[in-house]
Amino acid sequence: MRLLFVYNANSGKLNGFFDAGHKLVSPSTYKCTLCASTHNTFFEKESWKKFRTACDVPRTFYHKDEFKVKYPNNNLIYPVILKQKEQRLSIVLNADGLKEIFSVDDLITKLKNLLKEE
């Protein structure tokens, strides 16, 4: 099993700069709830980094433009967390589910519960 994290943001330094500006100016309207949960304005949150480092489940992180290149035939709404078993993808947390995550600790708890079930 592999977890795939797909942010609702495009890759690249310029896009990162605009995303950081958006988080500063209007954080409540920022479109990537996954990024808002796992990152501060400029850096990865420390508790997320610790979880990510300690987690022994393989995982891949994508910006939506990168994901669309690798998996072009999908109609997902971003952000999304997926589970990949063999070549099959299934949704772990969709965009609506991620909107209900209010902190990085909530996200970590949900992911730990999922991993216990596996």
Length of the chain in terms of residues written: 118
Q: Provide the terminal-to-terminal Cα distance of the chain, rounded to the nearest Å.
A: 9
| Bigger pLDDT: 12 vs 108 | 108
Query: Where in the chain are the domains?
Result: 2-117
> pLDDT tens for residues 79-104?
999 999 988 999 999 999 998 988 99
Mean pLDDT, residues 57-63 taken together: 94
pTM of the model: 0.85
Burial class (CB in 10 A: 0-12, 13-18, 19+), 80: buried
pLDDT interval class at 46 (50, 70, 90): very high
